[in-house]
Amino acid sequence: MHPHHSTPDNIRTACAAAQAAAADFAAQPLASRAALLRALANALEAHRQPLVALADRETALGPVRLNGELDRTCFQLRGFAEQVEAGAAQPVQDDPAVAGAPPAGRPHLTRVHMALGPVAMFAASNFPFAFSVLGGDTAAALAAGCPVVVKAHPGHPQLSRDVFALAADCLNTLGLNPGVLQLVQGAGIEVGVALVRDPTIEAVAFTGSQRGGVALWQEANARPRPIPFYGELGSINPVVALPSALATQSQALATALAASITLGCGQFCTSPGVLVVHHDDAGQAFVRQLAEALTLSRPHAMLHSGIRAGFDAGVARLQSRGGVTTVLAAPAREPSPGAHLFATEAATFVADAVLQEEVFGPACLVVWVRDLDETLQVLQAVRGSLTATLWGADADTADNRRLVRAAQAMAGRVLFAGLPTGVAVTAAQQHGGPWPSSTHAFSTSVGYAALARFLRPVALQDAPEWLLQAKGQA
Ligand code: NAP
C-alpha cells in the first residue's frame, strides 16, 4: 500500500485523537482559539514561497492565483479569530421568567450553543489553500471549538501534508492537543467512506462533485446515528442579461463574462455555466462579442486528468445533444483545453435535464429566450444554484420583481452587478443554494455565518447563575 494511503486503522486513530481532544478544545478560553487561528495564518504566510511553488506544481493554478488564494485563506483565518473574540462562537439568547400560568407565564430560558465535536472535512481539488487543510471549513469548525479530521484531496497531496505539518507545529507551540487537527488521505473512496462512518465524527463539510457529495451525504444519513452533512456541490450559475443592460454595456459585459467563464480554467463552483439572453439583434450581437472574447482567452491546464476527462466528456455531451448548436469550440492547446460556447432554445433547455448539468471547465451554454415567462421557466428548470446573476434588473418594475423572486427561489446568492466568480468572505455572505447545489441550503460554506454549522443550540431552563455567566459552557 502507498505510504500516504490511510489504512482503516489510521483513520480510526485519527478520529479517536480528534475525539479525545474535543472536550478540552471546546473548553479552551476563546482567546486561545483565536490565537490558534492567527498562528495558522502567520505560519502560512511565513512559508508562502515554498507552499505556493509546491501548490503550483501539484495543481497548475499559477503563482498569481495561488498567492491570492493564500491571502484569502489567511484573511478568513484571522476573520474567524475576530469573530471568536466578538462572541460569535457562543451566541446566547435569554428570555427571563414570567410569573403566572402558561402560555404567558414561563420559566427562565437561555438558549446557548455547544461545539458539535469532531468534524470531517473533505478538501476541494480546486482550492488547494482556501478550501483545503486550513481552508474555510476548517477555520469555521476550529472557531466553533471543534477538532477537524481533514480528508486531503489527492490532487495536491504533498501540499496537504506540508500545510498539515505547519498546523501541527502551531498546536504544539501553543500547547494544544495535536488531536485538534488530524489528516487522512489516499485516492480511493474507501478513505472518505470510512471517515464519514466513524462513530466519533459529528458533522461533515464537503466541497466537490455532485456525485461524490451525494454518495457521502447518503453515508452520513445511513449511519446508525445520522449526522449533519454540509455539502457544497456543483452549480451552473445562470446569468440573465436583460436587453436594458446590453443596450448600454454589451461589449464590456461580454469581455467580463468571458473572463469569468475561463477564470481558473472554469474550475470554480460559481463559474457561469448558463447565459440567458433574449433572441433579438442585441442578444445575438452580445453572443458574438462573447464568442470573440472567449476566442482570445488562454485557459491554463486543468487540475488533474480526471477533471479534464470530465470536461471533455461534458463538451462531447453538449456537442451531440439534439437542439444544441456549437457557437465556439476553441482548439485545445495541450495541456490546456479550449473554451466552448453552446446555444439552445429555452424550451429545449427546460425539457432536457442533461442540459441542466454542470460542465466543470471553460464552457457556457447560451439559452435563448423570447420573453420574461421563458426566462422564469429557465430559472425554474435549474432548480438549485449557488448563484443567479441578473443584469439590467435594477428598476422597481413588476417584471423585475417576478424575476428577482424566481432567482431568489433557486439561488443562494443573487447578483445585480458583476460576476459570480469571487465569493467575498464576510458576515453577510451566503454560499450554498437549494438542492442540488448544496445539501443544506440553510447554511453557508463561505463567510462567518459558516461557524453556526458546527454549533448545536441547547436551551437551559432555570439554570444556575454560574452556568449563565459562562454562557452555558460547563
Ligand atoms: P470529487 O470527485 O467529488 O472528490 C472530492 C472528494 O470526495 C475527494 O476527496 C474524493 O476522494 C471524495 N469522494 C468522491 N466521491 C466519493 C465517494 N463516492 N465516496 C467517498 N469519497 C468520495 O471532486 P473533485 O475530485 O474535486 O473533482 C471531480 C469533479 O467534481 C469535477 O470534475 C467537477 O465536476 C466537480 N467539482 C465541483 C466543485 C465545486 O465547487 N462545485 C469543486 C471541485 C470539483 P478520492 O478522490 O480520494 O476518491
Domains assigned to the chain: 8-233+438-470 (3.40.605.10), 238-415 (3.40.309.10)
- The residue to which cell 487543510 is assigned: 133
Q: What's the pLDDT at 91?
A: 96
DSSP 270: T
Instruction: Enter the DSSP assignment of 87.
Output: T
Which residues of the chain fall below pLDDT 70?
Answer: 1-3
Q: Which of 58, 202, 232, 358 is catalytic?
A: 232
> Is 0.85 surpassed by the pTM of this model?
yes
Atom in ligand 1 nearest the alpha carbon of residue 233: 41
Cell of 5: 494511503
216 Cα: distance to centroid of ligand 1 (angstroms): 10
Helix-then-strand count for the chain, H and E: 15, 15
10-22 pLDDT, tens digit each: 999 999 999 999 9
232 counts as catalytic: yes
Note the pLDDT of residue 299.
87
> What are the backbone dihedrals phi and psi of residue 438, each rounded to the nearest 5 degrees, phi first?
-150, 160
304 lines ligand 1 (CB under 6 A): no
Q: Return the residue matching grid coordinates 460556447.
A: 341
Q: What is the dihedral of CA 302, 303, 307, 313, to 10 degrees?
A: 10
Dist. CA 215–CA 210, nearest whole Å:
8
**pLDDT for residue 134:** 98
Which is catalytic among the residues 146, 265, 269, 364? 269
For the Cβ of 193 lying below 6 angstroms from any atom of ligand 1, the answer is: yes
Note the pLDDT of residue 188.
85
CA dihedral 5, 9, 11, 16 (to 10 degrees): -150
Ligand 1 contact, 192 CB (< 6 A) = yes
Q: What is the pLDDT of residue 234?
A: 87
> CA 60, CA 428: separation in Å to the nearest integer?
32
Amino acid letter, residue 39: A
Residue 37 in contact with ligand 1 by CB distance below 6 A: no
Q: Say if ligand 1 is within 6 A of residue 217 CB.
A: no
Ligand 1: nearest atom to the Cα of 193: 20
pLDDT value for 1:
52
Give the number of C-alpha atoms closer than 13 A to the C-alpha of residue 81, restricted to the C-beta side. 18
Give me the residue label for grid cell 486561545: 32
Mutate to test the pocket of ligand 1, among 6, 61, 121, 125 (most ligand atoms within 8 A of CB): 125
The C-alpha atoms of residue 271 and residue 297 are separated, in whole angstroms, by: 15
Question: Catalytic: 170?
Answer: no
